[in-house]
A and B are shown apart, each in its own frame.
Chain A
Amino acid sequence: MIPPLLVWLGLFLYLMRVDSRVRAAEDRLRALEGMPPVSPYPRS
């Protein structure tokens, strides 16, 4: 059971890290420039 979960755990941890980077950058941008809550940058 552990090996397949290992793969998905690795992906999940990476996903969490990138997601937290996105949220942190969005929050700081909004705080700096008074931007609206929804980010104007399109998803690539």
Chain B
Amino acid sequence: MGYGIDLAFRAPNAMVFENKELARIIFFHLPCAWGSTLFLILAPVFALMYLRSKKRIWDLRAAAAMEIGLLLGVLTLITGMIFSDVEWGAPWNWDPRQTSFLLVVLITAAYFALRAAFSDPEKQASHSAAYVLAAILPELFLIAVFPRMLMSLHPDVVRQGGFDATYWTVIAVVSVSLLLTSGWMFGLRVRAGLLEEALENSNAKLGSRDDPTPSGVVRPVSVPDESR
């Protein structure tokens, strides 16, 4: 990570930008956007695996992928607004790509509202999986197709060839470090889900024992007033 940040400051200016120094935010903006898209594509794969196998681990993986996709999506929007401010004069221009990515982030955020609406784990997992599968096509349309249908301020640097090899090297280094960090976070998030589920199961077992008062639980008792 540190190496990526260091490279980002030492890379030569890209001539395609107005403000060549501050436009270096692109080194972090592009990998965040790619990472977010990758996790949003992985989530329906996990959701499909859940619907086929009904194993809870796939639902946890889908939720983790959506969560990291949302996090990277929000970081993409923030870094994009910084880029927009220095290049186009305002942080938000209702540019087609900016707007479509905002919609993608909102669709992803709605997934968590849906998950929170169900208390039954089975229902939560199956409805969430269906939502992820239904959302992927609109998301891909908003990411890859819609912005190219309209005039956009966004530079299509990949097609126009606006970056030299050094610029692409820095983007590759930051992308790899971001991918490794995201993979680590993904594993940790799934582990948190597994542990929390095991904890809920333990609590449920304690509650269903013959002993009506599980150890560690103190029930309030009424104490008669002896002064009367």
A and B from one complex: yes
Q: Which of A7, A11, A15, A21 has the most CB of B within 10 A?
A: A7
One of A5, A22, A26 near B188 (C-beta < 8 A): A22
Residues 38 to 87 of chain B near chain A (Cβ within 8 Å): 57, 60-61, 68, 71, 74-75, 78-79, 82
One of B28, B68, B190, B206 near A32 (C-beta < 8 A): B206
Q: Give CA–CA (A29, B187) in the complex, Å.
A: 19
Instruction: Check B8–A25 contact: CB distance below 8 A.
Output: no
Residues 2 to 39 of chain A near chain B (Cβ within 8 Å): 3-8, 10-11, 14-15, 18-19, 21-22, 25-26, 28-29, 32-33, 39
Residues 197 to 225 of chain B near chain A (Cβ within 8 Å): 198-199, 202-203, 206, 216
Chain B minimum-CB-distance residue to A12:
B181
How far apart are B167's CB and chain A's nearest CB, in angstroms?
Answer: 15
Q: Is B154 an interface residue (CB 8 A)?
A: no
Instruction: Check A11–B199 contact: CB distance below 8 A.
Output: no
Chain B minimum-CB-distance residue to A3:
B25
Q: B interface, by DSSP: helix, strand, loop or mixed?
A: helix
Instruction: Check A3–B28 contact: CB distance below 8 A.
Output: yes
Chain B minimum-CB-distance residue to A14:
B71
Chain A: how many interface residues by the 8 Å CB criterion? Answer: 24
Q: Give CA–CA (A26, B1) in the complex, Å.
A: 29
> What residues make up the interface of A, taking CB atoms closer than 8 Å to B?
3-8, 10-11, 14-15, 18-19, 21-22, 25-26, 28-29, 32-33, 39, 41, 43-44
- 26 CB contacts below 8 A, A to B, read A4-B25, A5-B5, A7-B79, A8-B1, A10-B75, A10-B78, A11-B71, A11-B178, A15-B181, A15-B184, A15-B185, A18-B185, A18-B188, A18-B189, A18-B192, A21-B195, A22-B195, A25-B192, A25-B196, A25-B198, A28-B199, A29-B198, A29-B202, A32-B206, A44-B57, A44-B187
